[in-house]
Amino acid sequence: MQTFGLTIDKFLDHAAKWFGDHEIVGADAGVAVVRLGYAPFRERANRLSGALGALGLKVGERVATLAWNTPDHLELYYGAMGMGLVCHTLNPRLTAAQLAVMVEEADDRLLAVSVDLLPLARELLAACPGIRHLVCLDGGNTAPSIDLGDVQYWSLQALHDMHGAPAAWGGFDENLPAGLCYTSGTTGRPKGVLYTHRSNYLHTLRALQADAVALTARDVLLLAVPMFHANGWGLPFAAPAAGTKIVLPGRHLDGASLARLMRDEGVTVAVGVQTVWLGVADQLEQTGETLRALERVLVGGSACTDAVRERLERVLGARVQTSWGMTELSPVGTIAPPHGTVEAGAGRPTMGLDLKLTDADGVTLPEQRGKLGYLKVKGASVVDRYFAAAEDVLDAEGYFDTGDLAMIDTAGNLTICGRAKDLIKSGGEWINPAEIESIIGAHPAVRHVAVIARADARWGERPILIVEQEGDDPRGLLRLLEGKVADWWVPREVAQVDSMPLAATGKIDKNRLRADYARGAIVTQDGRG
Amino acid sequence: MQTFGLTIDKFLDHAAKWFGDHEIVGADAGVAVVRLGYAPFRERANRLSGALGALGLKVGERVATLAWNTPDHLELYYGAMGMGLVCHTLNPRLTAAQLAVMVEEADDRLLAVSVDLLPLARELLAACPGIRHLVCLDGGNTAPSIDLGDVQYWSLQALHDMHGAPAAWGGFDENLPAGLCYTSGTTGRPKGVLYTHRSNYLHTLRALQADAVALTARDVLLLAVPMFHANGWGLPFAAPAAGTKIVLPGRHLDGASLARLMRDEGVTVAVGVQTVWLGVADQLEQTGETLRALERVLVGGSACTDAVRERLERVLGARVQTSWGMTELSPVGTIAPPHGTVEAGAGRPTMGLDLKLTDADGVTLPEQRGKLGYLKVKGASVVDRYFAAAEDVLDAEGYFDTGDLAMIDTAGNLTICGRAKDLIKSGGEWINPAEIESIIGAHPAVRHVAVIARADARWGERPILIVEQEGDDPRGLLRLLEGKVADWWVPREVAQVDSMPLAATGKIDKNRLRADYARGAIVTQDGRG
């Protein structure tokens, strides 16, 4: 059989050849401001490769992006990866100091930045002397508004005008790296995940399966998950591979902007975290608008309760597909299918990813259904070792430890049941904070809830309940637990905070909570008081 | 990213783990006679590997099958491929002499044969001393009914009872061969296509895309295309990969048997050549039955006219997906999507296959839409050289020449417009027999039509029309061409045959027609007479 390298440039080549007039639309505050077909887009991205080569960048070197979901950012993806550079996506919601750690480890040579993020970029450049070139995205031919020292500045358009030229794409080993993304770092130093062309290609084919993301050439995709989160969940690859029109919303993800954009562009499939879709649902309820073209909403990033799913399905008039993933998985792990009976949990793995549940010692549970276990995964798009790490992170059978506790029902649907490291050992037995959080979090007055451990002389550890809520007596919430968890699981100490500390990904920062509690910044009251 | 070999054993592992109770059903004359879930089936196929190992078979060696679509045959597929043997499928509609050429070239060590094909197998064994073992499928514990000389005989069940044992699957290089299938050989010596694990794996992921075959875990597949035709179009891999229940009809593909089976098993997706579906349509029209569960019928193997497609859609009450493929392509090339507006032709290539049209000299046509050209293909599941051949069959850009003439419309849909070698050069200009055949073939009295060339002193070549039809004056058919093709394309000589010679795949054997004409066995009359 023919040699045919699994490199991601083939996705855009396919789109340009077979769906050349299917559009990439860029928007600002809900209004389309750029649109071009895959054919001209492919030509532009390819000429950008020529320009990057003219700047002296070489196969295997890293270029960083600090940008929103825009056509310029997507062009950077393909312009870099197509010629064998590694596209390192940075999260603009982190601080310059946090980003600098990543940029230094990655040894990025060029930074591409959305025009409104130039101030953050300036801070970053000051800390990262390795960056030689700054490319300004989304600003047309904007001149530099900041002092850049000896860093060479280009607007993307100026770079095209000066150096744009056709370039050879692909043709290298499919195991070469294509992308780099750091985990959120809520649990210590951020860890880089280095994606390869092969891992991205196979992740894409896995996503396109009819029981997974299942994009088609008739679909219109709204990509509301940031492209700096684990390849935008792989959609920047899957959309051109399927010939799907793609709508990139820019930085504004509020309900009003997105609802307008979805209606105007006839979006059929929308992808993002549930907070975003709750915003759209609020907007629709307030205005009475409907989104007639919308068929499916893919929700990920955190567990979606049945109540949220049902509300979204009712208000948006679309099927909700729940999912579970991780940066280390490229990122999709499991997904509920687009059709058929509504599934519980976060769906099943599609072909190409294998899951297993083990006990705390890593021994595979003899019964994989209906039992809580430690979740391990294997697949062509799963990390084996972190960037610049000496050691791999796999068990003897080659599985990656997700750090999650999970359960699989008889139909094969996965439910994440908390983080293994968050488990609380009290009197020699385990308490799972996630179960308590799930019950308390269902109360309408509660905005955020976290259960953490405090040291206890008698029991080893005891749980503390911390909430951000309306009202001022959190103790009453404990009654919700009666009869639902064992009595000794119920926290005896409760604290209310004005604002729950969140990591850049939106997850509650439990390390911060533990530190705040330790230094007395969180004061608890007796829950029985 | 992790090492994760693309080997086909993973499909069955996935099905067994996630869809262990989704069934494989074996039928005989429309009645289900065997059914078992993917989990027990996987265990059986794996234990068969242990037995094949006990017979002394080693990684890379070939085993042949001469069998219908049955669970036993599918077990052979996985039992052989899972442990690294090459499964060589033979077409029972060929003669023993034709098969012997293939078996000898392949150096097959074992022959697995459906019980009713034992007489053919005995002939074949006599000609092929390299075969050391005969395994009888589909007959339970049947003892040998034929004299086998020194060939060791096993029923599949006896082989299990004696040597069945768990075996290691996969773990080898994904580029190892997995399957071998010979082209029909209507155009000379049959040519072997050696599939690899990687090519089959990637073909499967291509098929599972939502715009392609798009199987899901909710579907029930009827596999009515023989498993000896190019991997049964890849469905024996795609079905377990998607967790799809699979119905294997055995040798009986008549309309009554299939209609009953489809109704009883709730088939949602049916795959086969159009003749088979026309038989089912006849049956439904005669009996007034309906197939309520049926959603889609995938038609391939030959071009499907709009009239046939419309009739099938109306009578079967299902969407028809047209397609084009070749043994050399594993075999799917293009396919019409399962949803959306009805497409013309044979659909589009899905991600992972590239097409181009060239002129007769192999130069890429500057305009790829709306122009007739020579069709070339590239992809991970496309042949580069035939089995045991010294030379590859690729052009300078790495494309395989299909030998077909084709056209691509503005929406990207492919239409095959005949074979390049069938073109007739008359007066220095080309006549395309396929166009004439298409017009004549649309007449209800015509069962088969072929246009071939005869040598002509003045024009070089001239076309002859040969038909199998009701009635006895084929000359009247020529009037159908008036105004539809150039006057000089119209054949001046016409012949009627009682029975058109067909190759084993059902295609008209034009080599035979040319030979029959040359030796005077086909007598033409003057079309203007």
| SS3 labels along B270-324 | EEEEHHHHHHHHHHHHHHCCCCCCCCEEEEECCCCCHHHHHHHHHHHCCEEEEEE
Distance CA A223, CA A235 (A): 7
DSSP output for B98-154: HHHHHHHHHT--EEEEEGGGHHHHHHHHHH-TT--EEEEESSTTPPP-S--TT-EEE
| Termini Cα distance of chain A | 74
Residue B519: how many other CB atoms lie within 10 Å: 8
Average model confidence (pLDDT) for chain B? 93
Q: Which of B218, B242, B349 sits opposite A351 (nearest CB)?
A: B242
- Beta pairing partners, B23: B37
B142 touches chain A (CB under 8 A): no
Q: Quick check: A201 pLDDT over 90?
A: yes
If one compares A519 and A243, the residue with the highest pLDDT of the two is A243
Task: Look at the alpha carbons of A106, A112, A117, A120 in this order and tell me if their dihedral is positive or negative.
Answer: positive
Q: Does residue B187 carry a pLDDT above 80?
A: no
Residues of A annotated as catalytic are 183, 328, 425, 430
Residues in B 208-247 with any Cβ partner in A closer than 8 A? 208-211, 214-218, 241-243
Residues in A touching B214 (Cβ below 8 Å): 210, 214
Question: Which pLDDT score, from 0 to 100, does residue A264 have?
Answer: 98
Q: What pLDDT band is residue A309 in, cutting at 50, 70 and 90? A: very high
| Contact across the interface for A216 and B211, Cβ inside 8 Å | yes
- CA pseudo-torsion sign A428, A431, A432, A433: negative
Q: Which one of B17, B371, B421, B425 is the catalytic residue? A: B425
Q: For residues B280 and B297, what is the distance between their CA atoms, to the nearest angstrom? A: 11
Instruction: Give the list of residues 6+ apart from residue A424 with CB closer than 8 angstroms, or none.
Output: A430, A431, A432, A433, A451, A452, A453, A461, A462, A463
Sign (positive/negative) of CA torsion A168, A172, A174, A176? negative
Distance from CA of B49 to the nearest CA of A (A): 22
Measured between CA atoms, how close is B195 to chain A, in angstroms? 7
Element (H, E) at A13: helix A9-18
pLDDT digits (tens, 9 = 90+) for B125-179: 999 999 999 999 998 887 766 667 789 999 999 999 999 999 999 999 999 999 9
Q: Would you call A352 and B11 a contact, using CB atoms and an 8 Å cutoff?
A: no
Q: Is the pLDDT of residue B389 over 60?
A: yes
Instruction: Determine the residue among A1, A245, A296 to mutate to test chain B binding: the one whose Cβ has the most chain B Cβ atoms within 10 Å.
Output: A1
B340 touches A at CB < 8 Å: yes
A19 to chain B nearest CA, in Å? 8
With beta carbons under 8 A apart, name residues in chain A contacting B215. 210
Place of tokens 């000898």: B104
Maximum C-alpha span of chain B = 74
Q: Which of residues 400-419 of A touch B (CB under 8 A)?
A: 400, 412
CA distances from A430 to A419, A457, A464, B63 (A): 12, 16, 14, 54
Which pLDDT does position A505 carry in this prediction?
Answer: 65
- Write out the two tokens for A132: 């030689």
Residue B186 pLDDT grade (very low, low, confident, very high; cuts 50, 70, 90) = low
| B93 Rama sector, left if φ>0, alpha if ψ -120 to 50, beta otherwise | alpha
A195 touches B at CB < 8 Å: yes
Please say if the pLDDT value at position A186 is more than 70: no
* CA pair distance A12, A35, nearest whole angstrom: 16
Q: For A242, name the nearest residue in chain B, comparing CA atoms only.
A: B351
**Beta pairing, strands B152-155 & B353-358:** unpaired
Closest of A62, A35, A500, A53 to residue A265, by C-alpha? A35
Contact B216 A194 (CB under 8 A): no
Locus of tokens 């296509």: B193
Give pLDDT tens digits for A295-304. Answer: 999 998 877 8
Angle at B119 between CA B114 and CA B120, to 5 degrees: 75
Does the structure show a pLDDT above 60 at B185? no
Most confident of A444-458, B213-227, B409-423: B213-227
Calculate mean pLDDT across residues B226-238.
96
Helix, strand, coil distribution of chain A in percent, nearest 5: 30, 30, 40
Give me the residue from A210, A214, A242 closest to B351, CB to CB. Answer: A242
Count of A–B CB contacts within 8 Å?
A: 149
Residue A518: count other Cβ atoms within 10 Å of its Cβ.
11
Q: What is the pLDDT of residue A86?
A: 98
Predicted local confidence at residue B529, as pLDDT: 57
* Pairwise CA distance, residues A258 & A223, whole Å: 10
CB count within 10 Å of CB B526 equals: 9
Residue A388 has which token pair?
């610049």
Check if B183 is active-site: yes
Contact B210 A208 (CB under 8 A): yes
Q: What is the CA radius of gyration of chain B?
A: 23
The confidence band for A33, taking pLDDT boundaries of 50, 70 and 90, is: very high
At residue A190, the pLDDT reads 86
10 Å Cβ neighbour count for A13?
A: 21
Q: Which of A96-110, A179-193, A217-231 has the lowest mean pLDDT?
A: A179-193
Q: Which of B289, B293, B272 is nearest to B281 (CA)?
A: B289
In the three-class reduction of DSSP (H, G, I as helix; E, B as strand; rest coil), residue B395 is classed as coil
For residue A187, what are its two tokens?
A: 């649990």
Residues of A in contact with B2 (CB under 8 A): 378-380, 382-384, 394, 398, 400
Q: Cβ of B352 and A384 within 8 Å?
A: no
- The alpha-carbon gap from A456 to the nearest alpha carbon of chain B, in Å, equals 41
CB-nearest to A209 from B208, B352, B380 is B208
Cβ burial, residue A295 (10 Å; 0-12/13-18/19+)? middle
Strands A319-325 and A332-335, sheet pairing: antiparallel
Chain A residues inside the 8 Å CB shell of B379: 2, 4
Of A301, A409, A406, A347, residue with least CA distance to A206? A347
Query: Nearest Cβ partner of A379 from B2, B11, B352?
Result: B2
Average pLDDT over residues B9-20: 98
Are A456 and A462 in contact by the 8 Å Cβ rule? The answer is yes
In percent, the amount of chain B with pLDDT more than 70 equals 98
Closest CA of chain A from B333, distance in Å: 14
Q: Give the three-class secondary structure for B499.
A: coil
DSSP H or E segment with residue A47 = helix A38-54
Q: Which residues pair with B138 in a beta bridge?
A: none
Torsion of CA B420, B422, B425, B426, to 10 degrees: -140
Phi (first) and psi of residue B161, to 5 degrees:
-60, -40
Q: Which of B428, B228, B253, B412 has its CA nearest to residue B333?
A: B412
- Tell me the percentage of chain B whose pLDDT exceeds 90: 79
From B191's Cα to the closest Cα of chain A, the distance in A is 14
pLDDT exceeds cutoff 70 at A228: yes
**Which helix (DSSP H) or strand (DSSP E) does residue B185 occupy?**
none
Q: What pLDDT band is residue B188 in, cutting at 50, 70 and 90?
A: low
Q: Say if A116 is an interface residue toward chain B (CB within 8 Å).
A: no
A317 at interface of B, judged by CB pairs closer than 8 A: no
> Each residue of A330-339: pLDDT tens digit?
999 999 999 9
Contact (CB<8Å) B348/A380: no
Whether residue B196 and residue A1 make contact (CB cut-off 8 A), yes or no, is yes
Can you give the pLDDT at residue A9? 98
pLDDT at site B505: 65
DSSP annotation of A31 reads: E
The predicted structure's pLDDT at residue B473? 84
In the numeric block, the tokens 């093709």 are attached to B485
Whether A379 sits inside 8 A of B4 (CB atoms) is: yes
**pLDDT grade for A306, boundaries at 50, 70 and 90:** confident
Residue in chain A lying closest to B203 (CA): A205
Residue listed under structure tokens 């310059």? A96
* Closest CB from A10, A208, A381 relative to B1: A381
The larger pLDDT score, comparing residue A185 to residue B232, is at: B232
Confidence bin at A472 (pLDDT 50/70/90): confident
Query: Where on the phi/psi map is residue A214: left (φ > 0), alpha (ψ -120 to 50), or beta?
Result: left
For chain B, the 3-state helix, strand and coil shares in percent, each to the nearest 5, are: 30, 30, 40
Q: Is any Cβ of chain B less than 8 angstroms from the Cβ of A3?
A: yes
Tell whether B270 lies on the interface with A, counting CB pairs under 8 A.
no
pLDDT, residue A507, reads 80
A350: pLDDT strictly greater than 70: yes
Is the pLDDT at B430 greater than 90? The verdict is no
What does the buried/exposed string (b/e) look like for B343-361 if buried means 16 or more CB atoms within 10 Å of the residue's CB?
bebbbbbbbbbbbbbbeee
State mean pLDDT over A72-88: 98
Whether B360 contacts chain A with CB within 8 A: no
Q: Does B349 touch chain A (CB under 8 A)?
A: yes
| Interchain contact B348–A (C-beta under 8 A) | yes
Task: Report pTM.
Answer: 0.91
- Nearest-CA distance A74 → chain B (Å): 19
Give residue B250's identity as a one-letter amino acid code. Answer: G
**Does the distance separating the beta carbons of A6 and B195 come in below 8 Å?**
no
Residue B164 exposure: Cα atoms within 13 Å on the Cβ side: 18
Long-range own/partner contacts, residues A390-397 (CB < 8 A, 24 or more apart): A394/B2, A395/A362, A396/A362
Active site includes B459?
Answer: no
Partners of B373 in the β-ladder: B406
End-to-end CA distance of chain B, in Å?
74
Give the tens place of pLDDT for each residue, B244-301: 999 999 999 999 999 999 999 999 999 999 989 999 999 999 999 999 999 999 998 8
Residue B397: both structure tokens together = 């850009």
- Of A232 and B344, more confident: A232
